[in-house]
Every structure is written in C-alpha cells, then in structure tokens.
Amino acid sequence: MKVIAVSCDSGHNFSKPLRTSIRLIAGLGVEGDAHLGAKVQHLSRVRRDPDSPNLRQVHLMHAELHDELNARGFSVASGDMGENITTRGIDLLRLPANARLHLGPDAVVEVKGLRNPCTQLDGLQNGLMAATLDKDANGNLLRKAGVMGIVIAGGEVNPGDTIRIELPAGPHTPLAPV
C-alpha cells in the first residue's frame, strides 16, 4: 500500500498537475490547492452553502481505476481526474467512513465519503463519467471515482510513501457520497 503520485493546482481546474511532493495542512487540505479550506471550496457546493464544512479537502484515487479505464480504451493518468493523491494496493472504495490513512511519516487523512463523479469527467474524455459508475449485483449504483477526506495531521506526502490504514471503532459505516 503506497502513494503512486501527488497533485495539486491553485486554480479551479479539473485536472491537477503532478508534483514531486505536496504538503497537507491539518483542518484545511493540500497547501496551494484551490480546495484548501475549512469551509467548502468546490464551486458548485459554495453556491449552495458556502458555510458548510469542507469534507472534500483531499481527493484520493486508486491507480487500479486508471488501469481499468485505460484497459477500456480511455487514456487517464494520475491527476487527470482531479485527485490529489493516487494510491496503489488499497481498496479505497471499501473503506468505512472515518477510516484514517497514515501517509508517509506524519500526514493523516480521515476518509469522509465517496467522490460523486460529475459531468466534468466527460469534458476530459467522452463517456468517462459513465465509466466511473457501475452497478452491484443488486442493482445499486457504485461510484468508483475515489474518496474524499479531511486532514487530521499535516505533513509532506511523496510518491513512494507507504500508507497505513487505521480503522475506526466498529460498527463500521459504509462510505456514501460527499
């Protein structure tokens, strides 16, 4: 379980350029990123309720999704879909709410929910939004576009850093869109 890539962008652009490292700031998010803040920063959410807490300080995505999408004919890489941290070896989507990810020696991100894919994905590549959605055996919608979290402990995060999962006390609550 490790960090594959890190990304951030000071503008509200959909894709985020790769960085050699990022710094997480407790209670705020990724230093220098447009989504940094204690209150909601995603523009569509700011219009609805600018005083709501920012549960989307950090966007994490599993590299296995990139693998799946690329095998289906898309061309996606780390940062392309707006993620700050790309992981490998963790089933992010199956983590319970409030699981904590220890990234490198210091940083801790608490997972708050699933990223709800939006139509901006189709602006990157036609059909990409639908490709990040699926149905389970019971017909329930599955969102595969990563998870969103808040920064509990700050620190530098680099590609190659190990990730340790700390599960919350049970019973566990499945992730829902945030």
Q: Which amino acid is present at 56? A: R
**Domains annotated on the chain, with CATH:** 2-166 (2.40.33.20)
Spatial CB neighbours of 101, under 8 Å, sequence gap ≥ 6? 60, 90, 108, 109, 110, 111, 149, 163, 164, 165, 166
Task: Give the pLDDT band (50/70/90) at residue 161.
Answer: very high
**CA dist list (Å): 175 to 27, 45, 128, 167:** 20, 19, 22, 13
Residue 10 DSSP class: S
**pLDDT, greater one: 40 or 24:** 24
The confidence score (pLDDT) of residue 82 equals 94
Neighbours of 93 (CB within 10 A): 18
**Mean per-residue pLDDT, 8-30:** 96
Q: Six-digit token pair at 165? A: 């999962």
Give the pLDDT confidence of 91-149 residue by residue, as tens digits: 999 999 999 999 999 999 999 999 988 888 888 889 999 999 999 999 999 999 999 99
Asked if residue 114 lies in contact with residue 148, where contact means CB atoms within 8 angstroms, the answer is yes
- To the nearest whole number, what is the mean pLDDT of the chain? 94
